[in-house]
Amino acid sequence: MPRDITVGQFLPGHSIMHRLDPRTKIVLTFFFIIQVFISKSAISLSFLIALLGVFIACSQVSPGKVFKGVRPMIPVIIFTAVLNIFYGSGDPVLSFSIFHITKQGLFTGFTLMVRLTALIAGCSLITYTTSLNTLAAGLEQLLSPFKRFHLKVGELSMTIAITLRFLPTLADEFDRIIDAQKARGAEFGSGNFIKRIKSYFPVILPLFMSAFRRAFELTNAIECRCYRGGEGRTKMSVLRLSKTDVGAILLFLLAFSLTIIFNVLFPFQY
């Protein structure tokens, strides 16, 4: 399962999505998250899926790679969807004991599953098509107005970038510890649910020790380079919006507006 964690991985390329300014991609991702949660009707959900397909095509990242990052979250998505099936009132479909399944609950569970899948797949595209240094620079530029409120924008953007960078690294470290434990005769994934959970306890301590060791090494490397935040630092490459960025923002605003129109004109009828 940790091998499926793809958040934080950068796939170099020359696609339209790769060439966009990181600030544009951050803004588009933010509004895409909003669009995911305001898509309520069947038409707007279908449009959301089509829009996600356009994003994947523009990024030139294989759909299998994109949805590979969704796999670790499938149990959470299914569990959340099942809970919503039993929540709410409406036309009954099936009843047993204190549980009642309704048409409205089935639709709510299905739409939530689609939303969460689209959310994870869509948000992963920004790390696939943006290097972490560029992403940190874009975050710093977008958050720069908050400097007047004494927010340490440079440190915050760098912290977010480092966090994303170390997610796949910790996943690889988890796999190495598992392989080392198996070589010593440990068994994982056998027995009942409780035994499976307990079998991973010997992995947690080495993983935390490795994470702390990497954190100390990174801290020493930063201090040796005399990093003192973003104040007074110059940029090797200055970010500038191009016509492609403006066009992408305008097209997405059009798609965002269409989602709102679809929700109003074609509400779902149970």
Q: pLDDT tens digits, residue range 130-174?
A: 887 788 788 888 877 877 777 777 777 777 777 777 777 777 788
Q: Is the pLDDT of residue 1 over 80?
A: no
CA 181 to chain CA mean position, Å: 30
Tokens of 211: 């994470």
pLDDT tens digit sequence for 224-259: 877 766 666 666 667 788 888 999 999 999 999 998
Residue-wise pLDDT for 82-106, tens only, equals: 777 776 666 666 666 666 777 777 7
Please report the pLDDT score of residue 270 as a whole number.
46
What integer pLDDT is reported at residue 170 of this predicted model? 77
Nearest C-alpha neighbor of 1 from the set 189, 146, 140, 136: 189
Q: How confident is the model at residue 32 (pLDDT cuts 50, 70, 90)?
A: very high
Polymer length in residues for the chain: 270
pLDDT reported for residue 149? 77
> pTM for the whole thing?
0.74
pLDDT tens per residue, range 172-225: 788 788 888 777 777 766 666 677 677 777 777 888 888 888 888 888 887 787
Across the range 57-75, mean pLDDT stands at: 83
